[in-house]
Amino acid sequence: MHAILVHGLGRTSASMLLLAGRLRSAGMTTHLFGYSAAFERWRPCVERLRRFIAARTQGERFIVVGHSLGGVLLRAALPGLACAPELGVFLAPPSTASRFAVKLSKWWLFRLLTGEMGQLLARRDFMEGLPVPDIPLRIYAGTKGPRGRWTLFGNELNDGIVSVKEVQLGSMPLQLLPTFHTVIMNSRQVAADIATLVKP
């Protein structure tokens, strides 16, 4: 069983190493897809991800795991694959234009560091037009972000970057984890759940 891991915005493949190690311990072969939002455009990156998945899996069984923007990239890439994954695991992926992305998209430094992809995350029409994968999905949202009138999210549950409501994809159930956005992939529960869900 292959596991394709895609990191989030502003991170590198190194952020997925702990999860990859735990999945290898569960008997999976892991592949880390790296990209740079600052230097790559959306469509070429999606096409490169498709080629990466096809080359690494060679028609064999596989699952996909995406953190934040990584989950968004996977949603765009999956429809073009010849073979579908047996499971999709999305860790704190925005399912709509998040308040955080909309706010930051107005700052020149954010635009410089995140390029076209960062701007697309702030567009409601783009985010809500992404295809919903027709595969078994497991979606996680963090809940340890600050809450209160002085915060961006008010009293809504959030992980510091996106709210639980912004992660919600249609009526699909969410798994809530007491963790922050930037470290949700390191939750032991995520690796344990994948190992339980994926049959040898």
Question: What is the Cβ-side half-sphere exposure of residue 31, based on CA atoms within 13 angstroms?
Answer: 17
What domains appear along the chain, each with residue ranges and CATH number? 2-197 (3.40.50.1820)
Sheet with 2-6, edge to edge strand ranges: 29-33, 2-6, 62-67, 87-91, 137-142, 174-177
Q: How many residues are given for the chain?
A: 200
pLDDT score, position 110: 67
Question: And the tokens for 184?
Answer: 């949700």
**Per-residue pLDDT tens for 96-117?**
988 877 777 777 776 777 777 8
133 to 6, 77, 87: CA distances (angstroms): 16, 10, 10
Q: pLDDT 10s per residue in the chain (200 long)?
A: 999 999 998 889 999 999 999 999 999 999 999 999 888 999 999 999 999 999 999 999 999 999 999 999 999 999 989 999 999 999 999 999 888 777 777 777 767 777 778 888 888 899 999 999 999 999 999 999 999 988 889 999 999 999 999 999 988 999 999 999 999 999 999 999 999 999 76
